[in-house]
């Protein structure tokens, strides 16, 4: 991963015009979790490939991820990402949109550099394109949910599967494809990624409200502020009594409230209904499904230790 970090720091260095490439260098050089490239490399390594060989595929997925963050932050009007001003706040929305577009194109260029045969490259590229499109579908569902009167928990799980989980699943499957794993093993890796991705997003829902801003790197309570219908909110709405339901609907009807008062009022209802604990139960359920999918992969169990450990880390993290 150190070599990949060094690569990211150099990928847009010195490129012109500066207002296009400096924002790319800014976001790629930040101290992110690098979960997605790690998954590509771990999947390739699981099937006997030197992780360095899959560097360009890993870089492509990380660049795609950062492209989505640049655009998501504009749509969400998010001021902070990874403890730093978001790209559009550091520059402006127009520059951020264009830089995000350029970053997505650069990600495609990375795939073309992958040291594999054409058939494998096409298969990975097809997965990359499908993943990209599904992320856009998930983001649109997320935006639609903000103005919809009724969103079910199943609707929400479908949305986060598309917006978050398919990226992790695509990373894992691409590493398996590169390593020439069997179709069954490629699918098992993809399923592992889907389940751990859903658990990862549910954990993010918790951390958005129950975390230290300095540790989490984003403003806490942002989902409530923006009327995001998260798993916490939908669970609370399902379990609320009439008065609690009225209060939730009232606060989620507009963003024109005193934000501290709104966040605290909603948080009080969540705590009275033990919503955090119920979300943690759901996280544990999807984590268990992920581990079951990993067990189906036809390599020895001791070689899977890094992926088992990663699953535990993702669902128990504090940022």
Which CATH number fits the domain that encloses residue 310? 1.10.600.10
Q: What is the pLDDT of residue 256?
A: 87
What is the rounded CA–CA span in Å between residue 185 and residue 189?
A: 6
d(CA 204, CA 21): 29
Q: Model confidence over 214-266: pLDDT tens digits?
A: 665 566 898 999 889 999 999 999 999 999 999 999 999 888 899 999 999 99
Name the pLDDT band for 60 (thresholds 50, 70, 90).
very high
Cα torsion for 75, 78, 80, 82, to the nearest 10°?
A: -50
Number of independent structural domains in the chain: 1
Give the residue with greater pLDDT, 316 vs 246: 246
Q: What residues does 80 pair with on adjacent strands? A: 85
Residue matched to tokens 């794993």: 181
pLDDT in tens, 263-310: 999 999 999 999 999 999 999 999 999 999 999 999 999 999 999 998
Strand, helix or coil at 229?
coil
For the stretch 74-105, pLDDT in tens is: 998 889 998 899 999 999 999 999 999 999 99
Between helix 118-145 and helix 166-178 the angle, nearest 10°, is 180
- Domain span including residue 96: 2-316
């Amino acid at each position: 991963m150190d070599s990949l970090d060094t690569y990211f720091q150099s990928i847009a260095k010195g490129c012109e015009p500066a207002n296009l490439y400096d924002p790319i260098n800014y976001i790629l050089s930040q101290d992110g979790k690098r979960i997605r490239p790690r998954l590509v490399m771990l999947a390739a390594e699981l099937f006997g490939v030197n992780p360095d060989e899959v560097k360009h595929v890993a870089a492509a997925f990380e660049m795609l991820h950062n492209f989505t963050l640049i655009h998501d932050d504009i749509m969400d009007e998010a001021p902070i990402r990874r403890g730093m001003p978001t790209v559009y706040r550091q520059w402006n929305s127009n520059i951020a949109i264009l830089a995000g577009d350029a970053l997505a194109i650069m990600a495609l260029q990375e795939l073309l550099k992958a040291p594999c045969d054409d058939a494998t490259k096409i298969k990975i590229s097809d997965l990359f394109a499908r993943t990209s499109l599904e992320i856009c579908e998930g983001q649109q569902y997320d935006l639609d949910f903000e103005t919809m009167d009724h969103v079910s928990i199943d609707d929400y799980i479908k949305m986060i599967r598309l917006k978050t989980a398919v990226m992790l699943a695509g990373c894992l499957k691409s590493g398996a494809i590169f390593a020439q794993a069997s179709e069954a093993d490629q699918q098992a890796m993809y399923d592992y990624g889907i389940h751990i991705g859903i658990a990862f997003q549910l954990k993010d829902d918790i951390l958005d409200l129950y975390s230290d801003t300095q540790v989490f790197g984003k403003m806490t309570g942002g989902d409530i502020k923006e009327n995001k219908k998260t798993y916490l909110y939908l669970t609370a709405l399902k379990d609320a009594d009439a008065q609690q339901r009225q209060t939730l609907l009232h606060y989620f009807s507009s963003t024109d409230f005193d934000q501290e008062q709104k966040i605290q009022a909603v948080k009080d209802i969540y705590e009275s209904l033990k919503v955090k604990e119920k979300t943690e139960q759901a996280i544990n359920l999807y984590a268990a499904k992920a581990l079951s999918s990993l067990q189906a992969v036809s390599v020895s169990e001791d070689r899977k230790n890094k992926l088992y450990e990663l699953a535990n880390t993702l669902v128990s993290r504090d940022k």
